[in-house]
Amino acid sequence: MNAPRTPDHADHSVVAAPLPGHPLARMIADEIRHHEGWIPFDRYMELALYSPGLGYYSGGKRVLGHVPQDGSDFVTAPELTPLFGETLAKQVAQALDATGTDEIWEFGAGTGALAEQLVSALGDRIKRYTIVDLSGSLRDRQHQRMIKHLPELAHKVVWADSLPEQFDGVVVGNEVLDAMPVKLLFWTGHEWLERGVGLDPASSVEDPRFIWLDRAAAPGSRPPSEYQDSDFVPDTVVETHAPAEAFVATLAQRMGTGAAFFLDYGFPESEFYLPQRRGGTLMCHQGHQSDPDPLSAVGEKDITAHVNFTGIALAGQEAGWQVLGYTSQGRFLTNCGLLESLQQPSDSPNAADFKTRAAVQMLITEHEMGELFKVIGFVKGPWFDAIGFVHGDRTHTL
């Protein structure tokens, strides 16, 4: 998979319009007019993904699935094979035992596939499984899934709109950090500008079209301080991840005792800001195809950016967590026994068929999800040697 790119600074051309009369596009256009013709990209991304009843994740669209024909745009690891959740459950079980807790908190639970897998594998080991998800349509889908597939355990699963002021337990987040809004900064060779979104003056109120516009960045808006401006070549676009880091810090502050595991695609900071990644990592997904244009088909496609795991680690540490480990998804799942799960006798009902083996290969091989996706773990309370990081821990690279 190639590193995603944002549009080049020199290209401020008008992009394709969303569907005529799209209410989300009109709403965003109204906000742009209200703010003197410009909003920062992180605000645009927030509106495009999470506007109540209209956004990509909050508007009722089916986003997760295996093929474009089912109306979906992408597939996540729990959808590929239940072995993903069953394997992750071994790490979660160890964390529950080590911290003396009995609750799981999952953020961004999608279709509920991972929740089903974890609840099924852990059974009576957990008292409650809380899903925090902003999408009402996904919540309904998750609830129906639990009733259908786990009738005897479905009562353990509850939903929340927000996090309590204090909680204990194990936090799980699979592909949740990448969907949090990012700021875009552009280096001219002389100064940092903030990339934002404006309106094409030739478009109509009924059919607004969006363009890229850059403005002077706020004082202090730049990549992390250990990077000098001279480290970046002119026309470089980078993302900064304040919302994701604030989210992690809030979890750390409010957790009494417990652990947390985040699985997502991304890099440590030393790789995130490589000179050759001059276009950033912003990418969209629609119909199981990728494109770098977040300004078209607003509300109809996912907008995402790779995770800066160094920033996530620092945010967690500064708020009270200790880093348990950091490694590739392939190594993490292998450490937790994924390959052993394939060694079932051929007459076993859990014997791995060709489809399952292909899914496992996608999860762990370097040219698929195995290397691009990383896992970071945190703990607050008793330290333990997490099994997912026993071999190949890369914490030293953060």
Q: Distance (Å, rounded) from C-alpha 223 to C-alpha 258?
A: 31
**What's the first-to-final CA gap in the chain, in angstroms?**
22
Distance between CA atoms of residues 230 and 242, nearest Å:
23
- Angle 60-65-69 from CA coordinates, rounded to 5°: 90
- CA-wise closest residue to 107 among 250, 301, 257, 321: 250
- Domains of the chain (ranges; CATH) run 23-385 (3.40.50.12710)
392: left (phi over 0), alpha (psi -120 to 50) or beta: left
Q: What pTM, to 2 d.p., does this model score?
A: 0.90
Q: Write down the pLDDT at residue 71.
A: 57
Q: Cβ(129)–Cβ(217) under 8 Å?
A: no
Torsion of CA 23, 27, 30, 34, to 10 degrees: 170
Beta bridge partners of 379: 259, 322
Check if the beta carbon of residue 110 is closer than 8 Å to that of residue 139: no
CA atoms within 13 A on the CB side of 29: 22
Using DSSP's 3-state secondary structure scheme, residue 318 falls into helix
* pLDDT < 70: residue spans in the chain: 1-21, 60-72, 134-137, 225, 344-352
pLDDT, residue 347, reads 53
Token pair recorded at residue 34: 């209200």
